[in-house]
Amino acid sequence: MSEPTYILGIESSCDETACSIVANGTDVLSNSIASQIDLHKRFGGVVPELASRAHIEAINNIIAEAIEQAGVAPEKISAVAIANEPGLIGSLLIGLMAAKTIAWIWDVPLVAVNHVYAHAYAASLDEGPIEYPAAALICSGGHTALYRCDSPMDMTLLGGTIDDAAGEAFDKVAKILELSYPGGPVIDRISREGDPKLIDFPRSLLAGDSLDFSFSGLKTAVLYHVNGVPGPRPTRVGKKPGPTARRAAMQENAGRGIENFTQQEIADVAAGFQAAVVDTLKIKLRRAAGKIDVKTLVIGGGVAANSALRAAVTELGDKLGCAVRMPKMAYCVDNAAMTAGLAYHYLQAGQVADLTLAARPTVRI
């Protein structure tokens, strides 16, 4: 039997420093991740400058750990894969420099991978190939998009968010509800205690058969539910309203403020919000599937860890009579196994990069 093709992947596009070794595109031999959640927690979101610095501190150890855990001798590794787009520029550059350095020292090809395409590939890890054509819904802290996929490398964008990403909405709503960061896991957990039908939050479906998403109105609806709808600004000719007058106007229409909500009421808000997000994602995925002769529904990204979304997509697959592929929990959030796995297909196709490869923070994907 021939020797497997081992690829070392590196991922540093946002706030996870990760390295992984994957054999033949699907067998994950190691998956090392240094998470920066504790660092960014008190800011309620990722602070780019802090993220870059933390990547520098973590990357050497993470690479060493992944190589050691995989137990594969470096001379057996066929290529180094890097997620060079999209992401935070400072973060991307740290991983890219590390990947170029290793590829140069080991004298192996460098393979460039799109981070969002890698999320769509994550469901293959440990499991095997996805049957195409597929409709893929990728939703994370930075992205929410729908694709038609004809192979791991052949992705056509069908729609995306016009404002907040789904994960970003989870994080911001958790902040409004004074829950911990990141918001997704905690909203998922407490929603189980809440009634998803009690508060009818808006589902922004946009016009006609649009496959785009919008979550900022939903986030504002939660904010108003908690803090009240701001009243009209008091106007007095020739005088700008002072802070007291503005506060009085706010209070006229004020909600009760999160400090006056019971645990049960917070759970009801969380469940209502989550139901609105999941309904919207499901409806759009169904629309996308309707435009393609799909064999498989695929989800990926941090929000693909959401239990209500997983249940809804499973149900949709049953209804449409097609397969459903969801990544294992460890491969939903950012990781380098999906980078190394997808890179196998580019390497097979002879699509490799060279040491002039650039980081691209924003790309139309």
Nearer to Zn ion, 120 or 313 (CB): 120
CA distance 15 to 222: 27
Q: How far is the CB of 144 from ligand KG4 (least distance, A)?
A: 10
Closest CA to 312 of 196, 140, 210, 160: 196
In the region spanning residues 229 to 288, those forming contacts with ligand KG4, defined by CB under 6 A, are: none
Which residues make beta-bridge pairs with 170?
Answer: none
- Count the site residues for ligand KG4 by CB under 6 A: 20
**In sequence order, which residues have a C-beta less than 8 Å from that of residue 187 and are 6 or more positions away?**
170, 173, 174, 177, 179, 270, 273, 274
Binding-site string for Zn ion from residue 127 to residue 146, where x marks contact by CB under 5 A and - marks none: -------------x------
Per rule CB under 6 A, is residue 303 in the interface with ligand KG4? yes
Q: How far is the CB of 343 from ligand KG4 (least distance, A)?
A: 18
Helix (H, G, I), strand (E, B) or coil at 37: helix
In the region spanning residues 121 to 140, those forming contacts with ligand KG4, defined by CB under 6 A, are: 140
Among 25, 160, 182, 341, binds ligand KG4 (CB under 6 A): 182
Closest CA to 267 of 345, 347, 354, 198: 198
> In sequence order, what E strands does the chain have?
6-11, 16-23, 27-35, 77-85, 110-114, 134-139, 144-149, 155-160, 296-300, 323-325
Closest CA to 340 of 85, 121, 60: 121
Helix (H, G, I), strand (E, B) or coil at 291: helix
Among 152, 167, 196, 341, binds ligand KG4 (CB under 6 A): 167
Per rule CB under 5 A, is residue 15 in the interface with Zn ion? no
Q: How far is the CB of 117 from ligand KG4 (least distance, A)?
A: 12
Per rule CB under 6 A, is residue 170 in the interface with ligand KG4? yes
Nearer to Zn ion, 78 or 84 (CB): 84
Number of neighbours of residue 309 by Cβ within 10 angstroms: 24
- Taking phi over 0 as left and psi of -120 to 50 as alpha, with beta for the rest, 87 belongs to left
Among 183, 194, 196, 341, binds ligand KG4 (CB under 6 A): 183
Preceding peptide of 234 cis, ω within 30°:
no
Q: Which stretch binds ligand KG4 (CB under 6 A): 144-152, 207-215, 254-262, 298-306?
A: 298-306
**Binding partner at 261 among ligand KG4, Zn ion, none, C-beta below 5 to 8 Å by kind:** none
**Binding partner at 305 among Zn ion, ligand KG4, none, C-beta below 5 to 8 Å by kind:** ligand KG4
Among 9, 25, 109, 141, binds ligand KG4 (CB under 6 A): 141
Among 54, 62, 77, 333, binds ligand KG4 (CB under 6 A): 333
Among 152, 184, 194, 341, binds ligand KG4 (CB under 6 A): 184
Per rule CB under 6 A, is residue 302 in the interface with ligand KG4? yes
Q: Which stretch binds ligand KG4 (CB under 6 A): 89-97, 168-176, 206-214, 247-255?
A: 168-176
Q: Which stretch binds ligand KG4 (CB under 6 A): 58-66, 183-191, 245-253, 261-269?
A: 183-191
Q: Which two tokens stand for residue 252?
A: 């006229």
Which residues make beta-bridge pairs with 16?
Answer: 35
Question: Are the C-beta atoms of 341 and 9 separated by less than 8 Å?
Answer: yes
Nearer to ligand KG4, 109 or 167 (CB): 167
Among 334, 336, 343, 346, binds Zn ion (CB under 5 A): 334
Which residues make beta-bridge pairs with 112?
Answer: 82
User: For residue 321, with 0-12 CB atoms within 10 Å meaning exposed, 13-18 middle and 19 or more buried, which class applies?
Assistant: exposed
Per rule CB under 6 A, is residue 90 in the interface with ligand KG4? no
**Chain residues that interact with ligand KG4, rule: CB under 6 A:** 14, 140-142, 167-168, 170-171, 182-185, 188, 301-303, 305-306, 333-334
**Chain residues that interact with Zn ion, rule: CB under 5 A:** 140, 334
